Structure 1
Amino acid sequence: MTRIVADISVSLDGFVTGPDPGPDNGLGTGGEALHTWAFSDDPDDRRLLREGTARSGAVVLGRRLFDIVDGPNGWDDETGYGASEVGKPAFVVVTSAPPAAVRLADLDWTFVTTGLPDAVTAARQRAEAASSDRGEDLDVVIMGGGATVGSAVATGLVDALTLHLAPVVLGAGTPLFTGGTPRTLVQRTVTVTSTATHLTYDVC
C-alpha cells in the first residue's frame, strides 16, 4: 500500500530554514545545522536515510525547493535526494508554471500546475507504478519546502509525518506550521542519534 509521507528536518523552535533563505542560501543563515544528521557517520542516521530513500517511489516538492536543488549550487552526482544516497525516484513539482529548462535533466520530473492535491495524486500514480515494477510497497514522500509540507498536513493529504528534530534553535526562518486545521498525531517511532531525534507519527 502506498502511503503519503511528509518528511522534513526541523529546529527545536519549529523552523525548517534559518533566516533569509534564498536561491543561493537555500537553508538560510545557520540552517545547515538542520541537515547535519543527513551527512553524519552515525549508523542509525545512515540507516534511516538509506531506508527512507529506498522506500521513496515518488517525491513531491514545491517550486522554491525545486529552484534550489536544480540551481547551479544544488544537487549533483555526489549529493542529491537522500544526501549522499543520491536517490532517483520520480519527482513531482508543484508550480504555477513549468521552468523553461531543467539542469538535472537525467532525473524524472513532472510539473503540476493545478495545485498540491493534484501533485500528490500524480505522485501516487508514479509510486504505485514503481511499486508494481519492484514488487514492493513504495511511498510518496513530500520533502518540502516547509510551506508544502505544512499545507499537506493541514489539508489532510498526509498519512504519516517524519520529523528530524535537530538540536538547534534558529530564532527565525521558515516555520513548519503556521496554523490551520488541528491534526491528531499518533507517535510510532522515536530514534535518538548523536545528531538528531527522528520522530515518526501517523496523522489522523
Structure 2
Amino acid sequence: MPKVIADITMSLDGYVTGPGADEQHGLGDATELHTWVTEQDAVDTEILERATAQSGAVVMGRRLFDIVDSPGGWNEDVGYGADQTGAPPFFVVTHAPPQDVRLERELGMRFTFVDDLATAVDQARAAATHGDVVIMGGGDVIGQALEKGLVDELRIHLAPMLLGGGTPLFKPGTRQMYRQRDVRPSRNAVHLAYERV
C-alpha cells in the first residue's frame, strides 16, 4: 500500500506562508521560503527529482489549487513535475468544485474534487499505481492530515528565515511521535524526513 507523505517548506518559526497569502500571492510576503526551489544547488535538485519521481498521486487543498490553476500559476515549464515525464493524478479537497480547470484544459492534468480529506487520501492511494501519495499543501490541509493521523512520513524543507506570522503548519494540541529518517542540508534549506512511530 502506498505511503502518505506530507511534504512542505516551512520557516524556522513554523510558518508555511508569510502574511498576505492569497490567490495572487501564494506565499504572501515570503517568496524566499522557496529559494531552495528557485536557486537549487545539487542537494536541492536531487530532493526535488526524487520526490517527483516517487509521487503516485497528489492531494492538495482548494486554496493551493486556486493558486496553481490561476493564469499566473503552473504552466508547461513551472509546476509539479513540469520538467518530468507525465504528471500524477491530483485530488483537491473542497466543498465547491470549480466549473472550469485551466490546467486540465491547457495541460491535460487530471484533477478530482473531493469534499473530505480522508476520502481524498483514500482515493489517491487507490490511484497511485506507482509511487506514494503526497500531500503537498497547503499548510491547513497538511495540518489537518497530521491531526487526523493520516501521515506516514513528514518531509519538511526548513528555510533559514523567521517570518513572525503567516500560516502555521502545526495546530495546537496535535501531539504525535516521529522518528527522524533523513537530514540533508543544502545551501538554501535543511531537508528533513520523519517517519511516524
Equivalent residue, structure 1, for 2:101: 102
Equivalent residue runs for 1:98-177 within 5 Å: 98-105=97-104, 106-113=108-115, 115-127=116-128, 130-131=129-130, 138-177=131-170
Amino acid at match of 1:12: L
CA distance in 1, matches of 2:25, 2:81: 19
CA distance in 1, matches of 2:84, 2:170: 28
CA contact (8 A) 1:77 1:86 kept: no
Q: How far has the Cα of 1:190 moved from its partner?
A: 0.1
CA distance in 2, matches of 1:84, 1:170: 30
CA contact (8 A) 2:81 2:87 kept: no
Equivalent residue, structure 2, for 1:179: 172
CA distance in 1, matches of 2:66, 2:33: 19
Equivalent residue, structure 1, for 2:39: 40
Q: How far has the Cα of 1:11 moved from its partner?
A: 0.3
CA distance in 1, matches of 2:140, 2:58: 15
1:61-110 residue CA offsets vs partner (Å, 9 max, x unmatched): 00000000001110011110147558611000000021010000110111
CA contact (8 A) 1:26 1:68 kept: yes
Q: How far has the Cα of 1:181 moved from its partner?
A: 3.0
1:8 is paired with a residue whose SS is strand
In the alignment, structure 1 segments of 5+ residues that lack a partner are 132-137
Q: How far has the Cα of 1:171 moved from its partner?
A: 1.1
CA distance in 2, matches of 1:191, 1:44: 7
CA distance in 2, matches of 1:181, 1:157: 13
1:1-22 residue CA offsets vs partner (Å, 9 max, x unmatched): 4100000000001000010100
In the alignment, structure 2 segments of 5+ residues that lack a partner are none
CA distance in 2, matches of 1:118, 1:7: 19
Equivalent residue runs for 1:50-65 within 5 Å: 50-65=49-64
Q: TM-score, normalised by structure 2?
A: 0.95
Amino acid at match of 1:125: A
1:16 is paired with a residue whose SS is strand
Aligned residues: 194
Q: How far has the Cα of 1:178 moved from its partner?
A: 2.0
CA contact (8 A) 1:79 1:85 kept: no
CA contact (8 A) 1:40 1:46 kept: no
Q: CA RMSD in A?
A: 1.3
Identity %: 52
CA distance in 2, matches of 1:82, 1:165: 21
